Structure 1
Amino acid sequence: MSEPTQFRSESVTQMDKKLNKQKRSRRIFLQSGATLLLSVLVPKLSYAAQILAVRVWPAEEYTRVTLEGDVELNATQFIVKDPLRMVVDIEGLELNSTLKEIIAKIQSNDPYIKQVRVGQNRPNVVRLVFDLKEEINPQVFTLKPVGEYKYRLVFDLYPVNPVDPIAALIEKGQWLQDAPVATLGDESQQTMQPQPQLQAPQLQAPQAQAMPQPKLNPNPEQPLQTAPDLKNVPQLTRMITIALDPGHGGEDPGAIGRGGSREKDVVLSIAKRLKAKIETQPNMRVFLTRDADFFVPLNVRVEKARKVQADLFMSIHADAFIESSARGSSVFALSDKGASSTAARWLANKENSADLIGGVNIKNHDKQLASVLLDLSTTAQISDSLKLGSAILNEIGGINRLHKGSVEQAGFAVLKAPDIPSVLIETAFISNPEEEAKLTDENYQNQMADAILKGINRYFAKKPPLAKNRLT
């Protein structure tokens, strides 16, 4: 009996489907084989990195060159003499217009770089040649994406013979020697001459009796009143050294206001104004951890203050918060028992992340942290920091609203100098449009500098610094 037509049609259809499936399988197999063969015979083309930005930060301490790319860059470098230059080869890179901008970004007053030449050395390798002004010790490292930055290749060009900070200030005429100790024992020299009125307190050695000041005789025809007998009483007047630390700088802009104001610029301007005012004081001198737009790691800021044997350390900032309504000035001191508030802890964490934004060489940084940022701060140091902070906060309250009426505490890395009273001053919220306008106003900057100086004088009036042996 013959098979029904309907069943024969279904069988044919099923056979066609099987055949089509087999054909597709063979075609996929052949295509895969061809692809495999091509991958073996034809070299795989590598992706060329793209340079997104080039930045150069010249400073007396070191010059930083940053190349920002869309992928991590691999570079090798070597120094060549006669003439002195640094040669850098960057792999996986094709020369583009952005990278060529580095030529115009080298300034004539750069302390270490004369000029730079750039070219395609060979396929996928770009060569940069830095003509140098003096022998350098380069540090080259890469940074992972953070904040607004992608991958960064960083060249820090340090001088082989770095300048001592005190020697540099002496050379600039900004460092006066401490007044010598005077022992008064000769009665023939006890006639006192009138002294100018000091705006800052007269400093005395420990356990020394206060020297009575003579009253000036309004009658010029009569001799001046002499001081009582002060045999064998030592009297010392020494210079107070203030270290000012403008926060952020260079690769790290700090907080940015809605109007585009950058924290690093605002606080540097305030610090320079405060520096000028401190220098008018007869027994004070001042040192800036940075005096231009360049990045200084947190531990280096502490090291600098200790090298100049500072009596006080003040880090100056301009706060920011996610809510633009936040406003007011604040003063912070170190805490060894946890933060005094959630806001203080949040701010300390934010400020302590500055090294990630600014970019530090992790290998060197870890070694420096081990020697400098140990939690060695004493109870006395924190106690003095709180007194200093309170004196400054009271004065700042006269020119701006206070975010909180007392000095707050948290684990700020930049305040961990174990032997220096240290505070961090948030001058205002740059994220608040009204306070951003204040921070960029010269009058407000001067008022803030005046208030901080008054706070310093108020602190020393109650707690004159003891004489100390100057380190050599």
Structure 2
Amino acid sequence: MRAWLVGMGMLLATLAADVWAAAEVRSVRLWRAPDNTRLVFDLSGPVQHNIFTLSAPERIVIDVSGAQLRTPLEQLALGNTPITSLRSAQRTPEDLRLVLDLSKAVTPKSFTLAPNQQYGHRLVIDLFDEGASPVQELPPSKVASAPQVPVSPAKPATKVAPPPASRRDVVVVLDAGHGGEDPGAIGPKGVQEKTVVLAIARELQRQINAEKGFRAELTRTGDYFIPLRRRTEIARKKGADLFVSIHADAAPRSSAFGASVYALSDRGATSETARWLADSENRSDLIGGDGGVSLDDKDRMLAGVLLDLSMTASMSSSLNVGQKVLSNMGRITPLHKQRVEQAGFMVLKSPDIPSILVETGFISNPGEAVKLQTQNHQQSLARSIHGGIRHFFQQSPPPGTYLAWLRDSGKVSRGPQEHVVSVGESLSMIAERYQVNPALLRDANNLKSDSLKAGQVLNIPAATLAAQQ
């Protein structure tokens, strides 16, 4: 009997300890973005928290109920952030206080995230620099049911066509997928999608900016997370004529291979692969938190009609440019599908900006993972995407752009913008034919020498295409 009582006492003590046991803060991660800093506390379980600011000196205090610190804070790289130090104190066995000492005032925003994919419970603290606009976060449970109309059909001043006399650049906004605490797909030997696609986006930006009449901008320039809706907001603020989201996804089978291009579908995915990939990409907002959706105070029916008209035109342009990009990519890498697929990618839901999502390959495929990490393949991929974008805008230049002026003034050929090298042709012969400087032709195609191969495709710089009547 006594042994039974002792056993029951130990069981009750264990149960009480389990009920009382605080969640552990197992690690802390930090990322710096251009206008904000994000701290992520990885937890062993759910917690309650409260956050407030103090001034003179500037500080942010985070009280976490039901938590104990189980990781050092000194290892965080605080350079280039407003945080000068991070301190902690265990006020009670189950109440943790964290203090951020700051070099300047910031606007804090905090939220918790439930387990998702490779992550467990998290407490996220965003510190927005003065003048930056905090993104309204949605609770993870509401992300999937967020309204399907992300923005107002009205275009801001930056998107209004300039006067006919102006010759502005065509603006292409390049979106390297994932980033920060969201690594995207992870391939063999730990290669991360976020790293590969940023390298490709930077190379594509370099190539586009080397061509007169074009300007490329990046949604993210480093390793930090941007919510999916915020990415299209960035594109709109930059006055984008085209939005290109770059990815290198994984598939359930490592044997899957090939590049793909996606445009938005208003009726859902057009294939099982497209549906699986769309779900995978949209889930990334559960990793980092989703931006809010705001609509102007407009008559719902009128707004719906305007959005339908704008979306129809945008989707038509997206399919057009997408097919040109896909055809070009097929010349340098195998294709997963021979046509542009359509799926419900959240990042493509912009009714006023043609948008495509480029899957450069499957990082889950060992062979493609190796290629995707090489500079030569990244340059080739960028060059093929660039060629498709150039072809689209030469055929359909936005009003008021330099390309529109070239077309309307007869200074650009309406013929082919690419040249397939024939047997016996040299670089100088092709340059003379198109009235272009050989050095410019060499640079436009990233050629290290003048040697050419039969069947090789050369891009002819748009600004130098003379009428070939």
TM-score by shorter chain over 0.5: yes
Alignment equivalent of 1:107, drawn from 78, 95, 103: 78
Matching residue of 1:48: 22
Q: Residue 248 of structure 1 contacts residue 358 of structure 1 at CA under 8 Å; is this kept in 2?
A: no
1:316 aligns with 2:246: yes
Matching residue of 1:343: 273
Equivalence map 1:377-392=2 (5 Å): 378-392=311-325
The Cα of 1:260 is off from its aligned counterpart by 1.0
- Aligned in 2, Cα 1:343/1:369: closer, same or farther, shift over 3 Å? farther
- Aligned in 2, Cα 1:369/1:346: closer, same or farther, shift over 3 Å? farther
Q: What SS does structure 1 have at the residue aligned with 2:87? A: strand
Matching residue of 1:64: 38
Runs of 4+ in 1 over 3 A off after TM superposition: 42-45, 178-181, 365-371, 373-377
Query: How many pairs does the alignment contain?
Result: 366
Provide, for residues 37-94 of structure 1, a one-character-per-residue CA deviation record: whole Å limited to 9, x for no partner: x99xx99972122222211111222111111111112221210101111011222233
Structure 2 residue identity aligned to 1:162: A
124-133 vs 288-297, which deviates more?
124-133
Alignment equivalent of 1:438, drawn from 371, 378, 398: 371
Q: Give me the whole-angstrom Cα distance separating, in 1, the residues matched to 2:268 and 2:19.
A: 54
- Aligned in 2, Cα 1:271/1:89: closer, same or farther, shift over 3 Å? same
Matching residue of 1:4: none
The Cα of 1:114 is off from its aligned counterpart by 1.8
- Aligned in 2, Cα 1:402/1:91: closer, same or farther, shift over 3 Å? same
Q: Give me the whole-angstrom Cα distance separating, in 2, the residues matched to 1:417 and 1:382.
A: 9
- Aligned in 2, Cα 1:369/1:331: closer, same or farther, shift over 3 Å? farther
Q: Residue 242 of structure 1 contacts residue 287 of structure 1 at CA under 8 Å; is this kept in 2?
A: yes
The Cα of 1:366 is off from its aligned counterpart by 4.2
Q: Give me the whole-angstrom Cα distance separating, in 2, the residues matched to 1:90 and 1:340.
A: 46
Matching residue of 1:454: 387
Equivalence map 1:51-130=2 (5 Å): 51-96=25-70, 98=71, 100=72, 102-110=73-81, 112-130=82-100
Matching residue of 1:301: 231
Matching residue of 1:218: none
Alignment equivalent of 2:199, drawn from 269, 275, 287: 269
1:137 aligns with 2:122: no
RMSD: 3.1
42-51 vs 267-276, which deviates more?
42-51
69-78 vs 241-250, which deviates more?
69-78
1:146 aligns with 2:76: no
Q: Give me the whole-angstrom Cα distance separating, in 2, the residues matched to 1:409 and 1:444.
A: 26
TM-score of the superposed pair, with normalisation by structure 2? 0.72
The Cα of 1:412 is off from its aligned counterpart by 1.1
1:325 aligns with 2:255: yes
Q: Give me the whole-angstrom Cα distance separating, in 1, the residues matched to 2:109 and 2:200.
A: 31
Provide, for residues 144-194 of structure 1, a one-character-per-residue CA deviation record: whole Å limited to 9, x for no partner: 111111111110111231189xxxxxxxxxxxxx9985xxxxxxxxxxxxx
Matching residue of 2:128: 158
Q: What SS does structure 2 have at the residue aligned with 1:75? A: strand
Q: State the percentage of identical aligned residues.
A: 44
Q: What SS does structure 2 have at the residue aligned with 1:105? A: coil
Q: What SS does structure 2 have at the residue aligned with 1:78? A: strand
Q: Residue 251 of structure 1 contacts residue 359 of structure 1 at CA under 8 Å; is this kept in 2?
A: no
Structure 1 residue identity aligned to 2:96: V
Q: Residue 229 of structure 2 contacts residue 292 of structure 2 at CA under 8 Å; is this kept in 1?
A: no
Structure 2 residue identity aligned to 1:339: A
Q: What SS does structure 2 have at the residue aligned with 1:319? A: coil
- Aligned in 2, Cα 1:331/1:370: closer, same or farther, shift over 3 Å? farther
Q: Residue 243 of structure 1 contacts residue 312 of structure 1 at CA under 8 Å; is this kept in 2?
A: yes
Matching residue of 1:420: 353
- Aligned in 2, Cα 1:88/1:302: closer, same or farther, shift over 3 Å? same
Provide, for residues 192-217 of structure 1, a one-character-per-residue CA deviation record: whole Å limited to 9, x for no partner: xxxxxxxxxxxxx5xxxxxxxxxxxx
Q: Give me the whole-angstrom Cα distance separating, in 1, the residues matched to 2:180 and 2:371.
A: 23
Q: Give me the whole-angstrom Cα distance separating, in 2, the residues matched to 1:116 and 1:258.
A: 35
Provide, for residues 207-230 of structure 1, a one-character-per-residue CA deviation record: whole Å limited to 9, x for no partner: xxxxxxxxxxxxxxxxxxxxxxxx
Equivalence map 1:20-31=2 (5 Å): none
Provide, for residues 394-437 of structure 1, a one-character-per-residue CA deviation record: whole Å limited to 9, x for no partner: 11111100111111111111111111110000001100000000
Q: Give me the whole-angstrom Cα distance separating, in 1, the residues matched to 2:373 and 2:213.
A: 30
Provide, for residues 261-286 of structure 1, a one-character-per-residue CA deviation record: whole Å limited to 9, x for no partner: 10011001110111111111121112
5+ long unaligned stretches in structure 1: 1-23, 165-177, 182-204, 206-234
Q: Residue 89 of structure 1 contacts residue 127 of structure 1 at CA under 8 Å; is this kept in 2?
A: yes
1:411 aligns with 2:411: no
Q: Give me the whole-angstrom Cα distance separating, in 2, the residues matched to 1:300 and 1:368.
A: 12
Structure 1 residue identity aligned to 2:53: I
Q: Residue 111 of structure 2 contacts residue 124 of structure 2 at CA under 8 Å; is this kept in 1?
A: yes
Structure 1 residue identity aligned to 2:359: E
- Aligned in 2, Cα 1:458/1:116: closer, same or farther, shift over 3 Å? same
The Cα of 1:123 is off from its aligned counterpart by 3.5
Q: Residue 245 of structure 2 contacts residue 358 of structure 2 at CA under 8 Å; is this kept in 1?
A: yes
Q: Give me the whole-angstrom Cα distance separating, in 1, the residues matched to 2:18 and 2:166.
A: 77
